[in-house]
Structure 1
Amino acid sequence: MLVAYASKYGSTAELAQFIVETLRDEGLHAECLPASKVTEVNEYDAVLIGSALYMGRWRREAVRMARRHRKALRRRAVWAFSSGPLDFSASGRDIPPVPSARRAMDRVRARDHITFGGRLETGARGRVARMALDEGRGGDFRDFDAVAAWARGVAAEIEAPEGL
């Protein structure tokens, strides 16, 4: 399995690595790569594509990866995840994919999508990040129990007789 991610400040990269570790704990071979470094997907049976949400959009690297590899991804099991709300809303309800994520999912025929809370730490660069921090919206809102549960669900689908 491949877990490809697009991250601005490292939070989504950490989620992707945590997902890989969970999949490995479930007995699957999985590796983690930045979406911008993915050159081939044919060697994988399944792919998870994740992106930080920034200004209400998936990061360009994730969108490009889905577009560039769409034909090969359509022949694989694909799931998608987003990381970004700077509050606990993702823990309390299902948040639908933003339009750019929905388009990427449709392009590759992804099976499912989930949104996880994000993280924004003091010292993050960029005007938008500083504004969010100035408004008191910083912090870590990732729910690793929910991430692990979702990853285990993906593993169960793959291991099911008709999983792939």
Structure 2
Amino acid sequence: MQRVLVGYATRAGSTAEVSGIIADELRARGFDVVVADLRDDPDPAGFDGFVLGSATQALTWLPESLTWLRDHGRQVGRAALFNLSITAVDPTKQDVALGHNKAASELVEASAQAAFAGRYAPKKVGFFKRLLLRVLAKKPADHVDPPAIRAWARGLDLTRTNKTP
């Protein structure tokens, strides 16, 4: 059975939830899946495939996710990448939202990429983010789309290349 790491970085929990949805779909496909917060620095040894994602901040992945990729990217080689972004709420801005994966895709070969909309729950974000979203007139909303996330996970090719010990 192919072993897959679904690694994520989150601030308010939505990316962890999306990672769980992806993991459930991969398990249904017969993969042995481990879900891990990249802040915990999971060891990539022993995994045959990788699905890595992050919430976005300042149009890129969170610092801890990029640090993990810098430290382990060579060993990972190839991964499916996803982000959660407020930009992804607008279907006409999907290319912009996918651009938030740029820094990550420079550290590993991206076998697939996605940008998903997340959830804005004011009680789960810091003061400055709440202030920014208030200025942008963003109201609390849940944009997590499990069917779209599952569909993306169903289509993933988790064949690994550039594998190094």
Q: Distance in 2 between matches of 1:103 and 1:84?
A: 15
Structure ranking higher on relative contact order (CA contacts 8 Å, 6+ apart): 2
> Is there any run of 5+ residues in structure 2 with no aligned partner, and where?
161-165
Name the residue aligned to 2:64.
Answer: 61
**Matched residues in 1 for 2:98 and 2:42: separation?**
28
Q: Structure 1 residues 62 and 11, CA, compared in 2 at 3 Å: closer, same or farther?
A: same
CA distance in 1, matches of 2:82, 2:129: 22
SS of 1:30's partner is strand
Contact residue 7 and residue 36 of structure 2 kept, 8 A = yes
Unpaired runs of at least 5, structure 1: none
Is 1:51 the counterpart of 2:54 in the alignment? Answer: yes
> Is 1:144 matched with 2:146?
yes
With over 3 angstroms needed to count, the CA separation of the structure-2 counterparts of 1:53 and 1:151, relative to structure 1, is same
Q: CA deviation at 1:147?
A: 0.3
Of 30, 33, 38 in structure 1, the residue corresponding to residue 33 of structure 2 is 30
Instruction: State the alpha-carbon separation in 2 of the partners of residues 113 and 143 from structure 1.
Output: 16
Deviation at 1:138, TM superposition (A): 2.4
Provide the rounded CA distance (Å) in 1 between the counterparts of 2:128 and 2:93. Answer: 29
Q: Does 1:122 align with 2:122?
A: yes
What's the TM-score, normalizing by structure 1?
0.84
Q: Distance in 1 between matches of 2:112 and 2:130?
A: 29
Whose strand proportion is higher, 1 or 2? Answer: 2
Query: Runs of at least 4 residues of structure 1 off by over 6 A?
Result: none
Q: Quote the RMSD (CA, aligned, Å).
A: 2.0
Give the distance between the partners of 2:62 and 2:142, measured in 1 at CA.
Answer: 19
Identity of aligned residues (%): 24
- Paired residues in the alignment total 154
2:163 counterpart residue number: none
State which drifts further: 85-94 or 106-115. Answer: 85-94
Provide TM-score, normalisation by structure 2: 0.83
